[in-house]
Every structure is written in structure tokens, then in C-alpha cells.
């Protein structure tokens, strides 16, 4: 995951600080020198690093901090606060006009940055908020860009407007606006053309669109993996087009993280969202405070909770609760729970967000064991899944063969379910009697 190295280094520096008890000015300065090195190695813009370290130092060598009971903790707190400030302090929402007006979003970026994917990801988000987005294929140069947009739009259930590759992007955008008015779309998202590098023709084309279409927000998509290049690209786009915000893609990769930490400070423009994978659901709102705590190894509990809530189906949860009360939990429910967990990105990805999880990276998470469990349940008939009591030895033998496992693994799984049911019975007994120890205990 991004920031892993930086995060490890900072945590080591902090561990030393905490371990020291009283701190001298020299201790703090030495620690901050190490912080500086760590940030530079993470490819953070050197001016940004210099300012950052100076500010932390000014605040941290004050007598209040050094004389406090926990100076190490105080320094860490200051680093955390300054990092949040560096990342932009507040979460900035994408600005949209009221639903009865058309918001035009001009999406731009270099080729390969992830623009077309991101446009579709964002359209899905807007759709789920009740908007009616229209994707507009203005990238007439990159082979297959139009088709890619169409495929992604279909996946998201969002309409795509295209006129092939024989028209000028400005004319496509104009026609799309008319189409949007006629058909009641309220967000027009222009997927503009990128190039491999910044060039005049590309900028002029974008400026022409901006001058002739009432663009409400200009959003730049940049690739976090390109480090300082992403920062330079942002600076140039901002100079030429005055961007309103940045979407930073591929933060799921092993990028060192420098772009995320520099863009806001260098351009003054906020990061609105971050791309966390290739799937169309992998776009997350950007929270400076959560990102800072992730970098500083304090985990990202809040994102974890959000994720759980987004994937959580309330009706199903209620059904499950009923079943638990009646101790009717069966293999169908078991399967459902496993799929829920998978939807949230699997155990390894969830663990990455927990505090101190950086240290857990050597522990192998056996996602294969989950796959085995799944295979066993899939080898059961409908009747067996919903009524595990009928599982006699010959059925178990058949299931084991179907799943390609030993019969002992089937037995273990059945036992696991039985135990869960037993616990549920005891639980519901307690709840049923309406009070403490009223049940079987
Ligand atoms: P465009 O040329 O800017 O339109 O870029 P594309 O949308 O075609 O994306 C280029 C590649 O980056 C594709 O393979 C995408 O799947 C991939 N990509 C886009 N966003 C992300 C992201 O957040 N994480 C990862 N890992 N890959 C991404």
C-alpha cells in the first residue's frame, strides 16, 4: 500500500521519541532531521518538506512541549496536526449546482493517468447521490477511449454521449449540452483528451472548451505513482486552466506518497478524491485527517467504518438478526457473511486500515481458507445448506469430493456452524428472558 515505507520510518522515529521521557531541544531537532529525510525519500517536494519541518520545529521546541510530562507524544501530535494542514485540513466536496441546473465538470489529465476510469467512477458516485450524469466522449485521439468510456458507462448504468472521432471536442461538448438540456441530465462530465506529455495543442483545446462552455468545475486527474511529475503536471494545468480540484489515482499501488503530500501545498488546490484500485467502486473521498493518521501509522478506523456502512445492507441485517434470535443461522447465511467481507475488500485490505497494521504485514492472511469454506458450501445442495441437520456421513463424503477437500474439513465446518447456533441459542435465551442471566447462564 502507498506510504508503507514512510509510515514505517515515521513510526520508528516516534518510537524513539516516546521512549526517551524528557526531551531536549537537540533530541527534537535530531528527530525532525530524520522526519525530513523520510519525507524526502518519500518523494515529497523539497520546499514542502522544508516548510513542514520548520513549522513543526518552531512549535515543538517551545518550553511548553519540552517541559510537559509526555514531550514525545506532544511532538507526535504536532507532526500529525501539521500533516493534516499540509493535506488541506478540511475535506473539500465536489461543488455541484442545484439539481435543477446543469453542472458541467471538465475532467482533464495526461494519458494513462486514469481519467476515463475515474470519470466513470465519479459518475457512479453522483448517480448514487440522485444526480443524472451524462458522460461525454471528447477524447477523440486515444484509440479506444470512446469505447472504454462506453463500456464503463454501461457498467455504471450511466449514459454516454459520443459523436465518434471525426468532430472537434468543442463541438462534441456543445452538442452534448443540447442533448443534456433536452433529456434532463443535470451533470455533464466531459472526458477530455489527454496526451503523453503536456503540450500546447492539448492546453489550447481545453482552454477553448472552457471559454465556450459554461464549465462549473475543472477537475484534474493525476497518477500518484508518478510522484513529483504529478505535482508538476498539477501546477502546469492549474496555471493554464485554473483547476478546481484534483483526483489522485492509483494510491493503492506502492507509490511512495510524495504526490499526495505535495499537491495541495504546491498548487493550493484541494485533493477531492483518491483512486484506490481499478474497480469502478474504488474511489474514495479524500479526508486529510484520516490520510495523516494512515501515514503516521495510526490506522484509518473512520474509513473502515464508512466502508462497512456503505456495504451494509440493512434489510439483510434485520433478517439475519431474526435468524440469530431463532438460532436458525444456516450455511446460506454463512456464505452471505463471507461475501459481505469480500465486498469490503477482503481481510488483508481491511487489516491495512487498522492501527499498527503496518507491523502485521508479515503475517500471512489465509484468504485461501475462506475460498475452501466457500467451495465446501457450494458443494452442498440447497436443502443441505438451509438444513444442516441432514448432513449424514454419505452426504459429507459427497460434499468433500465436490469441494476437493478431506472429509475432516467438512466436519470441521459443520461443527463450526453447530457451535455458532449453540451460542445463538444461549444468546437468544438470555435476550428472551429479558434480563441479566435470565437464560441458561
Ligand atoms: P486515461 O488514459 O487517463 O483515460 O486512463 P485510463 O482510465 O485508461 O486508466 C489507465 C490505467 O490505469 C487503466 O489500466 C486503469 O485500470 C488504471 N487505473 C485507473 N485508476 C486506477 C486506480 O485508482 N488504481 C489502480 N491500481 N489503477 C487505476
ipTM entry: 0.98
Beta bridge partners of 137: 191
Tell me: the pLDDT tens digits for 111-170? 999 999 999 999 999 999 999 999 999 999 887 899 999 999 999 999 999 999 999 999
The pLDDT of residue 103 is: 98
Pocket test residue of 117, 123, 153, 286 for ligand 1, highest count of atoms within 8 A of CB: 117
Cα 13 from Cα 27, distance rounded (Å): 11
- Ligand 1, atom 6, lies closest to the CA of 114
Strands 217-223 and 187-191: unpaired
φ, ψ of residue 97 to 5 degrees: the values are: -75, 165
* CB-count exposure of residue 368 (10 Å: 0-12, 13-18, 19+): exposed
pTM of the predicted model, to two decimals?
Answer: 0.72
The CA 87 to ligand 1 mean position distance, Å, reads 23
pLDDT digits (tens, 9 = 90+) for 373-390: 888 999 999 899 988 889
Shared domain for 166 and 199, answered yes or no, is yes
Domain that holds residue 204: 103-298
How many angstroms does the Cα of residue 191 sit away from the middle of ligand 1?
14
147 lines ligand 1 (CB under 6 A): no
Is residue 330 located within the same domain as residue 269? no
Q: What is the C-alpha end-to-end distance of the chain, expressed in Å?
A: 46
pLDDT of residue 345: 63
117 lines ligand 1 (CB under 6 A): yes
Is there a domain that residue 167 lies in? yes
Q: Are residues 391 and 278 in the same domain?
A: no
Q: Could you tell which of 114, 144, 248 is best to mutate to test the pocket of ligand 1, judged by most ligand atoms within 8 Å of the CB?
A: 114
Query: Does residue 110 form part of some domain?
Result: yes
Residues 9 and 140 in one domain: no
Residues 214 and 279 reside in one and the same domain:
yes
Looking at 266, 298, 330, the residue that finishes a domain is 298
Domain count for the chain: 3
For residues 243 and 123, state if they share a domain: yes
Tell me how far apart the alpha carbons of residues 97 and 126 are, in angstroms, rounded to a whole number. 12
Identify whether residues 131 and 245 lie together within a single domain: yes
Same domain? For 176 and 280 the reply is: yes
pLDDT-derived band at 355, boundaries 50, 70, 90: low
- Residues 240 and 345 both lie in one domain: no
The CATH number given to whatever domain includes residue 321 is 1.10.260.30
Any atom of ligand 1 within 6 Å of the Cβ of 249: yes
Output the CA 387–ligand 1 centroid distance in Å: 45
Amino acid at each position: 500500500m502507498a506510504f508503507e515505507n514512510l509510515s514505517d520510518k515515521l513510526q520508528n522515529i516516534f518510537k524513539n521519541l516516546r521512549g526517551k521521557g524528557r526531551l531536549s531541544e537537540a533530541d527534537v531537532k535530531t528527530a525532525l532531521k530524520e522526519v525530513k529525510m523520510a519525507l524526502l525519500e518519500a518523494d515529497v517536494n523539497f520546499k514542502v518538506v522544508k516548510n513542514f519541518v520548520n513549522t513543526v520545529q518552531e512549535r515543538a521546541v517551545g518550553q511548553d512541549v519540552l517541559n510537559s510530562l509526555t514531550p514525545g507524544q506532544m511532538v507526535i501530535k504536532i507532526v500529525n496536526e501539521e500533516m493534516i494542514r499540509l493535506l488541506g485540513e478540511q475535506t473539500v466536496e465536489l461543488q455541484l449546482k442545484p439539481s435543477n441546473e446543469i453542472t458541467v465538470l471538465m475532467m482533464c489529465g495526461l494519458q494513462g493517468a486514469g481519467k476515463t476510469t475515474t470519470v466513470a467512477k465519479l459518475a457512479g458516485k453522483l448517480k448514487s447521490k440522485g444526480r443524472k450524469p451524462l458522460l461525454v466522449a471528447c477524447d477523440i485521439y486515444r484509440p479506444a477511449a470512446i469505447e472504454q468510456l462506453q463500456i464503463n458507462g454501461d457498467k455504471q448504468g450511466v449514459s454516454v454521449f459520443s459523436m465518434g472521432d471525426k468532430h472537434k471536442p468543442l463541438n462534441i461538448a456543445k452538442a452534448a449540452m443540447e442533448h443534456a438540456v433536452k433529456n434532463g441530465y443535470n451533470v455533464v462530465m466531459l472526458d477530455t483528451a489527454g496526451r503523453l506529455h503536456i503540450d500546447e495543442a492539448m492546453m489550447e483545446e481545453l482552454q477553448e472548451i472552457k471559454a465556450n462552455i459554461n464549465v462549473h468545475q475543472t477537475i484534474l486527474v493525476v497518477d500518484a505513482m508518478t510522484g513529483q511529475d504529478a505535482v508538476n503536471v498539477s501546477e502546469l494545468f492549474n496555471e493554464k486552466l485554473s483547476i478546481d480540484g484534483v483526483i489522485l489515482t492509483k494510491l493503492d499501488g506502492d507509490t511512495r506518497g510524495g504526490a499526495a503530500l505535495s499537491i495541495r501545498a504546491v498548487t493550493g488546490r484541494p485533493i477531492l478524491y483518491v483512486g484506490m484500485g481499478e474497480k469502478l467502486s474504488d474511489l474514495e473521498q479524500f479526508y486529510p485527517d484520516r490520510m495523516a493518521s494512515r501515514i503516521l501509522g495510526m490506522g484509518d478506523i473512520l474509513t473502515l467504518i464508512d466502508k462497512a456502512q456503505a456495504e451494509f445492507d440493512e434489510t439483510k441485517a434485520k433478517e439475519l438478526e431474526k435468524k440469530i434470535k431463532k438460532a436458525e443461522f444456516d450455511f446460506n447465511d454463512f456464505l452471505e457473511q463471507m461475501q459481505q467481507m469480500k465486498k469490503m475488500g477482503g481481510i488483508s485490505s481491511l487489516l491495512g486500515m487498522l492501527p499498527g497494521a503496518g507491523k502485521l504485514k508479515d503475517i500471512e492472511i489465509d484468504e485461501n481458507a475462506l475460498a475452501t469454506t466457500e467451495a465446501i458450501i457450494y458443494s452442498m445442495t440447497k436443502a443441505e445448506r438451509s438444513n444442516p441437520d441432514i448432513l449424514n456421513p454419505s452426504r459429507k463424503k459427497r460434499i468433500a469430493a465436490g469441494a476437493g477437500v478431506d472429509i475432516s474439513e467438512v466436519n470441521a465446518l459443520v461443527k463450526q456452524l453447530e457451535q455458532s447456533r449453540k451460542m445463538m441459542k444461549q444468546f437468544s435465551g438470555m435476550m428472551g428472558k429479558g434480563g441479566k442471566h435470565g437464560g441458561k447462564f
